[in-house]
Amino acid sequence: MASDSLDHLIVGSTPVAGLVAGLLAIEHGKRVCLVGEPFSPFRLQRHFGLSISAVTRPETLILIKRAATETGKLVNSIGKGLMSRVDPLFIAETPDSAAALSHFRHLAISLGYAVEPVADRSLPGALLLKVRDAQLLGHGRLEPALETWLARHEVRHLDAAETAITLRKDGTARIAHDGRTVDAAEAVLLGDRAILRYLDADSLDRSIETIPGASFLLEGGKPLPSPFVSYIDRGVMLEQDGRVSISALVSGDPTTARARLGSASARSGALRIAGEMAHPTLRTADGAPYIGPARGSKTNIVAGLGPVAPFLAPLLARHLAGKSASDEAQWIASRGPTRGNQRLQVAEYVAVPA
Is the pLDDT confidence value at 31 over 80? yes
Q: Distance of alpha carbon 53 from its chain centroid, rounded?
A: 10
The pLDDT value recorded for residue 343 is: 61
Q: How many DSSP H helices and E strands does the chain contain?
A: 9, 18
The pLDDT value recorded for residue 216 is: 97
Give mean pLDDT, residues 182-196.
97
Fold designation for 6-346: FAD/NAD(P)-binding domain (3.50.50)
Is the pLDDT confidence value at 2 over 60? no
Greatest distance between any 2 Cα atoms in the chain: 64
**What digits encode the pLDDT tens for the residues 216-245?**
999 987 889 999 999 999 999 999 977 678
Is the pLDDT confidence value at 179 over 80? yes
Per DSSP, the three-state class of 136 is strand
**E strand map for 80-191:** 83-86, 89-92, 115-117, 127-131, 134-137, 156-159, 163-167, 173-177, 180-190
Is the pLDDT confidence value at 291 over 90? yes
Tally Cβ neighbours within 10 Å of residue 352.
Answer: 11
Integer angstrom CA distances of residue 207 from 111, 162, 340? 29, 32, 9
Is the pLDDT confidence value at 150 over 60? yes
Integer angstrom CA distances of residue 259 from 138, 256, 262, 264, 354? 27, 5, 5, 9, 10
Beta-carbon contacts of residue 295 (< 8 Å; ≥ 6 apart):
202, 203, 204, 205, 206, 337
Tally Cβ neighbours within 10 Å of residue 278.
Answer: 11
Helix locations, the chain, DSSP H:
15-26, 58-78, 95-110, 142-152, 192-198, 257-264, 313-321, 326-333, 343-346
The pLDDT value recorded for residue 341 is: 61
Partners of 107 in the beta sheet?
none
Average pLDDT of the chain?
94
Q: Note whether 186 and 171 are within 8 A (CB).
A: yes
H/E element, 351: none
Integer angstrom CA distances of residue 127 from 104, 167, 206, 209, 344? 12, 46, 33, 28, 25
The pLDDT value recorded for residue 203 is: 95
Is the pLDDT confidence value at 147 over 80? yes
Percentage of the residues of the chain whose pLDDT score is greater than 90 = 88
The pLDDT value recorded for residue 338 is: 75
**How confident is residue 4, by pLDDT bands cut at 50, 70 and 90?**
confident
Cα angle 44, 285, 211 (rounded to 5 degrees) comes to 35
The pLDDT value recorded for residue 342 is: 64
Give the total residue count for the chain.
Answer: 354
Is the pLDDT confidence value at 353 over 80? no
Is the pLDDT confidence value at 161 over 70? yes
The pLDDT value recorded for residue 220 is: 82
Is the pLDDT confidence value at 3 over 60? no
On the CB side of 118, how many CA atoms lie within 13 Å of its CA?
Answer: 20
For residue 293, give the nearest of 207, 213, 210, 181 by alpha carbon: 207
Q: How far apart are CA 252 and CA 235, in angstroms?
A: 7
Q: How far apart are CA 65 and CA 3, in angstroms?
A: 40
**What digits encode the pLDDT tens for the residues 270-282?**
789 999 999 999 9
Query: Which residue ranges make up each domain of the chain?
Result: 6-346
**What digits encode the pLDDT tens for the residues 87-132?**
999 999 999 999 999 999 999 999 999 999 999 988 999 999 999 9
The pLDDT value recorded for residue 268 is: 78
The pLDDT value recorded for residue 340 is: 64
Q: How far apart are CA 271 and CA 208, in angstroms?
A: 35
The pLDDT value recorded for residue 252 is: 94
**What digits encode the pLDDT tens for the residues 237-261?**
999 977 678 999 999 999 999 999 9
The pLDDT value recorded for residue 266 is: 87
Top-confidence residue, 122 or 161: 161
On the CB side of 275, how many CA atoms lie within 13 Å of its CA?
Answer: 15
Q: Would the pTM of this model clear 0.85, i.e. be above it?
A: yes
Beta 180-190 vs 6-11: how paired, if at all?
A: parallel
